[in-house]
Every structure is written in structure tokens, then in C-alpha cells.
Structure 1
Amino acid sequence: MNDFVPLVPVDELPADLRADYDATDRPGLRDFIRMMANSPDHFRRYNEVYGHVRYDNHLGPRLTELVRLTVAQTTLCQLCLSGRNADAIAAGLTEEMIGELAADERRHIEPAEDAAVNFALKFATDHTAITEQDKKALQTYFTPEQIIELGLLCVMCMVGRFSMLAGIEAASCAVPTG
């Protein structure tokens, strides 16, 4: 943790954020809640939108998690990288898939997932590198609604860049290995 944005003392958290804090045993997530509690109303709005984009979309849990982890690999946010969605794992997400997200060739994912991962990787690192061919690939596999959801998911996941600036990283957020 650094001095860029202080952590709100636990006993000063608003009741709802204190409940979120108490509900997790992940120290990195606890620090994130404490940091974001400096602006509790905006944090609540962020959480509401992020929750819908991440869990109530038309992409499915496996694709959502592949995209989220792709963006996390670009932000280097250990908190983001360490989490795994149980529904995505149940839908077939593996550490082999995750391990090749930034690779030139992704052998363990479906073509639609590859198009989405490619988009997320370019969107998170250099959006001007997204080509017409990349856009056509998305249009081949996804509806306009799903493309919007992919874009919004990428945007929302990039909060990891801010978390890294603020020093929200901990050894307790170890990244799973396959």
C-alpha cells in the first residue's frame, strides 16, 4: 500500500461497505473496499454496474472470466488476477486457458472466445490496434448487445490500473498456478 489514496479505517466504513468488508476473507479485496470507501457513493454505483456487467450478461460465465482475466493480465492487478469465478470453472475454465490468454496462439479456447480475448487484449493495451478484421470477428460470433457487454466489461475491469497505482497488491493475493 502507498500514500496515494489512504485506506478508510475499518471502524469508519459505512455500514453496507463494512458488511462487504466482513463478507470477504481476501485481504486485497478488503483493502480495495477500504480505499474505494473514500468515495462511497461512487463506489456503490460502480459496484452496481460492475455486478450487472460481470454477472448478468449474455456472454456466459466462462467467456466473461476469460475477458476479465485478459484485462487483469494487462493491468497486473494481483487482486484481479487471483480471483476465479466458480461458475466459470464449472463451465470449463481451466488454468491452461488462462495461461495462454496473452499468447499469439490460444489452443484451449473456442474461436468466439479467441475473438473476444483478442479484442480485450488490444482494448486494454492499445485500442487503436483493433482492426476492422478484429471487429468483423466479433460481429461473426456476437450480437451487438454482446459486443457492448464485452466493451463495458473491459472498461469496468480496468479499475485494476487504478488499484495498482494505489498499491492494492498483497502477497495474500497469490495468483493460482495450474
Structure 2
Amino acid sequence: MRELIPPVSPEQLPEDLRAQWEATPRPGLRSFIQVMAHAPDHFRRFNEVYGALRFDNHLDARLTELVRLAVARTTECQVCMAGRHPDAVAAGLTEELVDQLGGDARTGLTSAEDAAVAFAIAFATDHHTVDDELLDALAAHFTPTQIVELALLSVMCLVGRFSMLLGLVEDASCALPTSTER
């Protein structure tokens, strides 16, 4: 695929974005920062909103990460799939659970988590498939505030589609282990 947007060189990154770039060892995330630096003010606002939705919400860390990774599975974004939030891992997020996010059988999830993941996948792939049964499941487990947060988190995570369009990848050191490698 041809390069759609050339990355801003690290030397030309604004100081705050350069600090973010230097703070991550992940090449895909570094490339994402370099591309987004073409619109630094918008990228900063995106990060602010995304950060609040991901880390300061009315959902727990494990659920937030499950939803984020469920959307990442739909976008096939390597950059998105490579990260794990330590609080979610401490709360029981395992690679076995992550592996199940793409399938219909999701054992190990609570009924609330399963409803949120099903919603995120449907919302991210074809919002027309969000039916009354799925909405009822959400309403049974979540407050209106939490449902809005689930939807907005799903929207923000769809930036992975842009990452894939740009061809951003993580190197082998960031690859997710397969089930046989664990």
C-alpha cells in the first residue's frame, strides 16, 4: 500500500508529542504519533477525550479493556491489540479472554461483560445489527451513563481503522502470543 501520510520526523514533533514518542518503545504507536502530529491540536484533543473515556469512566478497568480490545479485533489494528492496561490485567484480563473476543463463545466473561463486548463488536462492525435483545442486555447491566461511555469508547477505538489504512504495524517484539506460545 502506498504511504498516505508521511510521518513527521521525530526532530520536528512538537515537544509534548516528542515526549510521548520517546516514552513508548512500540514502533506502531510511535508511527501513529508521527502521523497524527500533522494535526497536533486535534490529536491532543483526541488524546484528552480518549484518555478520559478509557481511564476515568464509570466502568471497571477490565470491562473497559475488554471493550477496547473487542473493537480492536474488528479493526484488526496491531497497534491497538498490542497494548494491555496493567489494571485490567490485575483485574483478571487474560490472553485467553482476549482470544475469545472474536468468537461467539466467550466463556470467562460475566453476563455484563459479554453484553458490552457483543455491543462493541456489533457497533464497530455494523450498527444495524444492534437489536432489541442486545439493547435489553445492555439496559439490564448498565446505567445510561455507562451505556453512553461504552458507545463513546467504541467510537474512539475505531481510530484503529485509520491505523490500518495507514499500514501501521508493531514489530515482532510486540506481537501477541498465540495460544500455542503461552
Report the TM-score, using the length of structure 1 for normalisation: 0.97
Alignment correspondent of 1:138: 138
Give 1:171 deviation, angstroms: 2.5
Question: In the alignment, what sits opposite 2:151?
Answer: 151
SS of the residue 2:93 aligns to: coil
In the alignment, which residue of structure 2 is the partner of 1:80? 80
- Is 1:6 aligned to 2:6, yes or no? yes
- The answer as to whether partners of 1:57 and 1:149 remain within 8 angstroms in 2 is yes
Which runs of at least 4 in structure 1 moved beyond 6 Å after TM superposition? none
AA of the residue aligned to 1:69: L
CA-to-aligned-CA distance 1:60-91 (integer Å, 9 cap, x gap): 11000000000000101101011111100000
Whole-angstrom CA distance in 2 between matches of 1:17 and 1:41: 10
C-alpha separation in 2, matches of 1:176 and 1:65: 18
Aligned residues: 178
Which of 108-117 and 168-177 deviates more?
A: 168-177
CA distance in 2, matches of 1:138, 1:35: 36
1:59 match: 59
Q: How does 1:78-157 map to 2 (within 5 A)?
A: 78-157=78-157
Partner of 2:176: 175
In the alignment, what sits opposite 1:161?
Answer: 161
Which residue number corresponds to residue 34 of structure 1? Answer: 34
- Give the 3 Å change call, closer, same or farther, for CA 171–2 of structure 1 in structure 2: farther
TM superposition shift of 1:102: 1.8
2:166 & 2:102 partners in 1: Cα distance? 25
Q: Deviations over 1:107-163 (max 9, x none)?
A: 111000000000001001100000011001000000000000000000000000001
TM-align CA RMSD: 1.1
Q: What secondary structure sits across from 1:33 in the alignment?
A: helix
Q: Secondary structure at the match of 2:17?
A: helix
Q: TM-score, normalised by structure 2?
A: 0.95
Output the amino acid matched with 1:155.
V
Task: Report Cα offsets for 1:91-111 as digits up to 9, x if no partner.
Answer: 011111111112112111100
Give the distance between the partners of 2:160 and 2:126, measured in 1 at CA: 16
Residue 2 of structure 1 and its aligned partner are, at CA, apart by 4.2
| Cα shift at 1:167 | 1.1
For structure 1, list consecutive stretches of 5 or more residues without a partner in the other structure. none
CA distance in 2, matches of 1:143, 1:122: 19
Aligned mates of 1:9, 1:171 — CA distance in 2: 19
Question: Are the counterparts in 1 of residues 61 and 87 from structure 2 also a CA contact under 8 Å?
Answer: yes
Return the alpha-carbon distance in structure 2 between the equivalents of residues 176 and 49 of structure 1: 30
Q: Counterpart of 1:176 in structure 2: which amino acid?
A: P
The 8 Å contact of residues 82 and 170 in structure 2, kept in 1 or not, is answered as no
